[in-house]
Amino acid sequence: MPDVMAGLDAYVLSSRWEGLPLAVLEAMAAGKPIVATRVGGVPEAIEDGAGGYLVAPEDPRALADRLLALLSDPAAAAAMGARNAQAFDARFSLGAMLAAHERLFTEIAPAR
């Protein structure tokens, strides 16, 4: 998948429903700007206007308009992709997840 992501200018998710899609996290890790439908856990991962654009599900016109806006401004797209890479590292990377679990276990485990 990294080879595929490397060739993309942006990642588009047009789902009607999702949990927290692994493909969105992969696009974030690859530093890609994202245009996605506002479903499931997607808004928890992508900040609308910062890492890309979120649109209502089943609104193909809005999806296309946001994608065209993104592709017409390469500097903004690059900045969004960079923000996604930073957000991924801070919240979803292995190190971030291990640290979060360690904090949780420390908080709920009795002191010995």
Span 81-98, pLDDT tens digits: 999 999 999 999 899 889
Domain ranges across the chain: 2-108
Residue 112: is its pLDDT beyond 80? no
- Specify whether the CB–CB gap between 35 and 66 falls below 8 A: yes
Span 21-67, pLDDT tens digits: 999 999 999 999 999 999 999 999 999 999 999 999 999 999 999 99
Domain 2-108 adopts which CATH fold? Rossmann fold (3.40.50)
Long-range contacts of 19-25 (CB under 8 A, 24+ apart): 20/44, 20/45, 25/88, 25/92
Mean pLDDT of 8-20: 96
Predicted TM-score (pTM) of this structure: 0.87
